[in-house]
Structure 1
């Protein structure tokens, strides 16, 4: 078992990582149950894990109520937020109760946001079932839904009370989903740890093939890295947390162009976005071309998109930059970009010429 503490004063919480943890989750959840029914929100793809969790809770004398939502990014919507909120209110959820989010990033984001506004804030627990959610979205308290204008534009910072991560649940995940989550693992090396990126180059293929110890190491490393950044800059006000958005400005534009659909999973968009961020950095003379080539080569080697073509996007640079202008990171009319000076040397650049970005993307599309 590995336990990572997210240090946020009175709102600090543990992230517990252990193979087989789902079947033993009641030991951790019992103190939060308060003798009341615990709602479990999940989606239709996670039903086997739902049964495992409910059986564990039932054996410990904790009653639960399942709320099963449709899978997919479209679930992060106003309509589903209203539906979920009404269901939780029907169940009589109180401010001192805890709702369990069992699923990937979509479920975690939606449930977290619903809990942030339900009766002005109730508790929730993250039990992520995808690699992407385990290494990124379940930790840090960012919750949101999507709108027609863009991704994650309506949301709140609302920290979970606990995060329970069982790496063995990934065995039921389709390989494409695991690869998409792996992009967020690679991100932690590219942000500020060249040695960890080298570890990914050496071990990524085996991790994706199912090596459990490698998966456990990658998850624990990623969670610890994110916990440190979140503790330093919880609400992304000092710039440090913005580094976690590496690849996301380009990636979200690609997701928007593909309709936030299964044509391009979020992690796939991030992978292509990281390659584009490094490619743009190299094109601007900021990073060595060799560094951009390493990023592209590794993503390609593990079967992840490494640019516009492999992401299935043929839009113009102007169109993609138009999507970027709806980014939630816009500040006083400017759009900060996450660029890089080398492997493991990412930084925030608030003076990027959008015309140069358009030209770079047009060149990539040719």
Structure 2
């Protein structure tokens, strides 16, 4: 087991990563000072596999737990589903110390976290991420949100969990595509922060893809360490934390143009990272070799390198609805090399369009 501390003063918490964390979770619940009534939010994929098992662990810790299941998929991350969860919380009599647990992937975590942040102006929140993507991305750092028809994650808050428990045995039921999508975000951490970690992924690609235990624990823990280090220095995304958005500006446009159906988040980020690397090279910030390494590792991890079903004009319009766009200027996270990035808002339109065109498949 590995433990990663997210140091945020009074909002600090631990991330536990390992196989079989029942005792740790039960002990945490017993000492947390929660009210007895609790809500466990999960989805129609994860709930039938792990819902009752986790409910039993939490109840052994002294809680009375109601499992609430939402339909699996990005479409559930919306205000209409949020309203149903608010209604259920009120019906159950949840009070200000009643915990809400999120058991599932990023959609469940973002939605349940948004409910926890806003119900009674904030109730305790615990993340139990089951997908590789959620473990290394959305469950760490305290961003919670729902989508709007005009854009992704536009309605949300910064709200830190009380703890994060990553039982990697739950990943054994993940489809291969879901493993690959998590690897998209994992590659990102090497690009933005740690050249040695990027090289580790290149050198241990087979073990990583097979989720061999040692490789799985290391890559998840290192990803969490990097994100925790960034979030600890910039919780509210006023500066450094923006580097975590590497690849995401183009990715969000790809997701929107394909209806959030054709590509899942990590796949879109993978394409977006190559696009951002391409922009960096066109601006003379990195070499063609660096771009080639990024594209090669993305492909090696069985992720797409080009997006189908998109047009340059539509994608270019979309980036101006991105949260990182301020006063009409798009804040791009761009490479200065493997392991180092910077933010720029002066990228010429023609360069963005050329990079987008190069990422569109037939």
Distance 1:364 1:9 in 2: 42
Indicate conservation of the 8 Å contact 2:99/2:123, yes or no: yes
What TM-score do you get using the length of structure 1 for normalisation? 0.95
- The alpha-carbon deviation at position 354 of structure 1 amounts to 2.5
Contact in 2 for aligned 1:5/1:13 (Cα 8 Å) = yes
Gap runs ≥5 in structure 2: none
- For the structure 1 residues 24 and 291, does the alpha-carbon distance in structure 2 shift closer, same or farther, using more than 3 Å as the test? same
Alpha carbon RMSD of aligned pairs, Å? Answer: 1.4
Classify 1:35/1:341 alpha carbon distance in 2 versus 1 (closer, same or farther; 3 Å): closer
Shift of 1:316: 2.5
1:341 partner SS: strand
1:340 and 2:353 are equivalent in the alignment = no
Shift in alpha-carbon separation, 1:234–1:35, aligned structure 2, 3 A: closer
Contact 1:6 1:15 in 2 (8 A): yes
Aligned to 1:8: 8
Q: Secondary structure at the match of 1:236?
A: coil
Question: SS where residue 231 of structure 1 aligns?
Answer: helix
| In 1: Cα distance, 2:113 partner to 2:16 partner | 18
Task: Confirm or deny: 8 A CA contact 2:205 2:301 kept in the other structure.
Answer: yes
Distance 1:363 1:16 in 2: 40
Shift of 1:22: 4.3
Aligned: 1:187 with 2:182: no
> How many residues matched?
360
- Aligned residue for 2:147? 146
- Contact 2:179–2:209 (Cα < 8 Å) also in 1: yes
1:350 and 2:345 correspond: yes
* Partner-residue secondary structure (3-state), 1:360: helix
Shift of 1:33: 5.8
Superposition deviation, residue 254 in structure 1: 0.5
Q: Which moved more, 1:57-66 or 1:181-190?
A: 57-66
Aligned to 1:253: 253
Task: Please list the CA deviations of residues 11-44 of structure 1 after superposition, one character each: whole Å capped at 9, or x if unmatched.
Answer: 1111111211147521222223635122100001
Instruction: Decide whether the 8 Å contact of 1:32 with 1:98 is kept in 2.
Output: no
Matches within 5 A, 1:1-366: 1-22=1-22, 25-32=25-32, 34=34, 36-47=36-47, 48-237=49-238, 239-261=239-261, 263-308=262-307, 312-313=308-309, 315-365=310-360
Asked if the contact 1:250–1:276 (Cα under 8 Å) also holds between the matched residues in 2, the reply is: yes
CA contact (8 A) 1:24 1:56 kept: no
3-state secondary structure, aligned to 2:67: strand
Give the whole-Å Cα distance in 2 for the aligned partners of 1:145 and 1:316.
Answer: 26
State the distance in 2 between where 1:52 and 1:75 align: 23
Shift of 1:355: 3.2
**Given that residues 39 and 65 in structure 1 are in contact (C-alpha distance below 8 angstroms), is that contact kept between their aligned partners in structure 2?**
yes
Post-superposition Cα deviations, 1:127-176, rounded to whole Å, max 9, x if no partner, equal 00000111111011100111111110110111111111111111111110
Q: TM-score, normalised by structure 2?
A: 0.96
Further displaced range: 98-107 or 17-26: 17-26
Q: Which moved more, 1:280-289 or 1:210-219?
A: 280-289
Q: Quote how far apart the aligned CAs of 1:207 are.
A: 1.6
Contact 1:153 1:328 (8 Å CA) reproduced: yes
2:60 & 2:94 partners in 1: Cα distance? Answer: 22
Does structure 1 conserve the Cα–Cα contact (< 8 Å) formed by 2:205 and 2:300?
no
Whether the 8 Å contact between 1:317 and 1:357 is mirrored in structure 2 is no
Q: Cα distance, 1:204 vs. partner?
A: 2.7
Conservation of the 8 A alpha-carbon contact between 2:36 and 2:63:
yes
The residue matched to 2:145 in structure 1 has which SS? strand
Change over 3 Å in CA distance of 1:116–1:344 after alignment to 2: same
1:360 is displaced (CA, Å) by 2.7
User: After the TM superposition, which parts of structure 1 deviate over 4 Å for at least 4 consecutive aligned residues?
Assistant: none
Q: CA deviation at 1:320?
A: 0.4
- Cα 1:169–1:91 change in 2 (3 A) is same
SS of corresponding position for 2:55: helix
Per-residue deviation, 1:59: 3.3
1-structure distance, mates of 2:159, 2:305: 33
Q: Secondary structure at the match of 2:86?
A: helix
